[in-house]
Amino acid sequence: MTTSRHHFPPGFLWGAATAAYQIEGAWNADGKGESIWDHFSHTPGRIRRGETGDVACDHYHRYAEDVDLMAEIGLQSYRFSIAWPRIFPHGDTALNQKGLDFYRRLVAALRERGIVPMATLYHWDLPQKLQERGGWVNRDTAMRFAEYAAFLFEHLGAEIPLWATHNEPFISAYFGYGNGEKAPGVRRFWDVLTVGHHLLLSHGLAVQAYRASGRRAEAGGHSGIGIVLMIWPHHPASASPRDVQANRLVDGAMNRMFLEALFCRRYPDDMWQHFRRRLMLPRVAPGDMELIGQPMDFLGINTYTRVVNAANWRDLLAGAQQVTPQEPTTAMGWEIYPPSIYESVMKVRSYGDIPLYITENGIALHDEKGNDGRVADGARIAYMQSHLAELHRAMAEGADVRGYYVWSLLDNFEWELGYDKRFGLIHVDFATQKRTLKDSAYWYRDLIATNSLS
Ligand code: FCB
């Protein structure tokens, strides 16, 4: 019997990802300000079972142990996010030194173990004080974000080689300000494009601040600044023109609006016409699109599954409805569809040849620890294996993918769904905070050690 192996290029970066609110806990420790997620999760009825990120994985206090576990797995990079209100509790420029010190310690621990830090500036936890002034509906928030970003480039820029401005601006806009399922929980669909525009504008301003700080991406290395987008492929439920049109609009809202703005310095015409009829257009000031579309050093892709869309006239936004995902599905109810990662990469690639990182990919399961102490998550291994084979296929066809981050390092707080969606390579017992490496962590360790997939 022959076994085939997929080899990844030398220097390919293997990592895992997290986000501040989902793991840190310590929500009001050491001078941290309230974020929109603190506020939202403390509002009754917003989160399943009334759970909150108050403690989460207590990573704020246990980061050293967590970095040791990363080293045990052999991670080469770690993607985490910085909680803006830990640095600037009120969203202005009054610094909370202890918050900055925490990230300094974390980054130092990573670097000691040779783990390359990738920091996301915004993974959804806006200072609540800024929300009280309109949040991302207010253009001024983009300016505040640029100040926060510039501060971090100055103080951590020498230690952190990879920076992502935003995580999934689509989710921030549509789920934060449209359907209100995520913080700040606002339901004003007519504002979502304005929010999206301000998020992109703040990205552009942060890239500008990064360049002004004198930092440059080194050719061939892992450094520079980019943005992380959610890129899921969309497929029409049938070949009927109505389904095809509905699918085009959903893909337009989720993917093309962001990709075209960033790569082509414009919003897609068809989407502009579509949203104009819904009185949703944002105010675009002269120069905005140039700022948004200035060159970045890489693009991060978060991809998990595909979406199949059918026409539904009752949906005001895109006249579409998502078709019930086909089995097999994950604990999130998402279809397991390995070509999704290939299609996501190829879609982005059609916009331009820019270095790519898969900044999130993974599976939620209802993992349990067995009597032998093991967490046997074969389904996660199968998911990673099949998706990495599809990623390899995209790379074999020329896609310049530089690294892959599993979502997630640890089981954590899955936003409005709380704690029962376990995405981690590491099992967390939330009652005791005990960490246990799952089978997938050992499997990933072997993969990293050989830089190849069997
Ligand atoms: C992504 C988020 C991440 C996590 C995964 C499951 O959309 O960026 O924080 O919730 O989904």
Got the DSSP string for 36-57? HHHHHHTSTTSSGGG--SSSTT
* Rama region for 185: left / alpha / beta (φ>0; ψ in -120 to 50; rest): left
- The answer to whether 320 touches 247, Cβ cutoff 8 Å, is yes
- The answer to whether 121 touches 152, Cβ cutoff 8 Å, is yes
Structure token digits, residue 430: 């939330």
Q: Which helix (H) or strand (E) holds 266?
A: none
Q: Give me the torsion for CA of 254, 258, 264, 269, rounded to 10°.
A: 50
Position 3 scores a pLDDT of 61
Position 14 scores a pLDDT of 99
With the most atoms of ligand 1 within 8 angstroms of its CB, the residue from 57, 407, 408, 421 to mutate is: 407
With the most atoms of ligand 1 within 8 angstroms of its CB, the residue from 80, 302, 304 to mutate is: 302
Position 379 scores a pLDDT of 98
pLDDT digits (tens, 9 = 90+) for 196-212: 999 999 999 999 999 99
Residues with CB under 6 A from ligand 1: 19, 22, 167-168, 171, 230, 302, 360, 407, 414-415, 423
Position 393 scores a pLDDT of 98
Please tell me the residue having the least CA distance from ligand 1 atom 4.
414
Please tell me the residue having the least CA distance from ligand 1 atom 9.
19
Residue 372: how many other CB atoms lie within 10 Å: 7
Structure token digits, residue 233: 């492929």
For residues 230-251, b (16+ Cβ closer than 10 Å) or e, as one string?
A: bbbbbbbbeeeebbebbbbbbb
How many angstroms separate the alpha carbon of residue 277 from the centre of ligand 1? 31
- The answer to whether 114 touches 18, Cβ cutoff 8 Å, is no
pLDDT digits (tens, 9 = 90+) for 41-57: 999 999 999 999 999 99
How many angstroms separate the alpha carbon of residue 414 from the centre of ligand 1? 7
> Which candidate, 44, 47, 20, 38, places its Cα nearest to that of 416?
47
Atom of ligand 1 nearest to the CA of 362: 6
- The answer to whether 246 touches 320, Cβ cutoff 8 Å, is yes
All structural domains of the chain: 6-453 (3.20.20.80)
Position 2 scores a pLDDT of 52
What spatial distance separates the first Cα and last Cα of the chain, rounded to whole Å? 13
| Active centre residues (catalytic) | 168, 360
Distances (CA, A) of 104 to 92, 99, 127, 206, 213: 21, 9, 20, 20, 19
Q: Which residues of the chain have pLDDT under 70?
A: 1-3
Please tell me the residue having the least CA distance from ligand 1 atom 10.
414
Atom of ligand 1 nearest to the CA of 364: 6
d(C-alpha 38, C-alpha 27), whole Å? 7
Position 279 scores a pLDDT of 80
Position 116 scores a pLDDT of 98
How many angstroms separate the alpha carbon of residue 276 from the centre of ligand 1? 30
**What is the maximum span of the chain, computed from C-alpha positions, in angstroms?**
65
How many angstroms separate the alpha carbon of residue 149 from the centre of ligand 1? 22
Atom of ligand 1 nearest to the CA of 332: 6
pTM (2 decimals)? Answer: 0.98
Q: Which amino acid is residue 97, in one-letter code?
A: Q
Atom of ligand 1 nearest to the CA of 414: 10
For residues 278-303, b (16+ Cβ closer than 10 Å) or e, as one string?
A: eebebebeeebbebbbeebbbbbbbb
SS3 call for 426: strand
- The answer to whether 33 touches 88, Cβ cutoff 8 Å, is yes
How many angstroms separate the alpha carbon of residue 274 from the centre of ligand 1? 28
Atom of ligand 1 nearest to the CA of 415: 10
- The answer to whether 310 touches 320, Cβ cutoff 8 Å, is yes
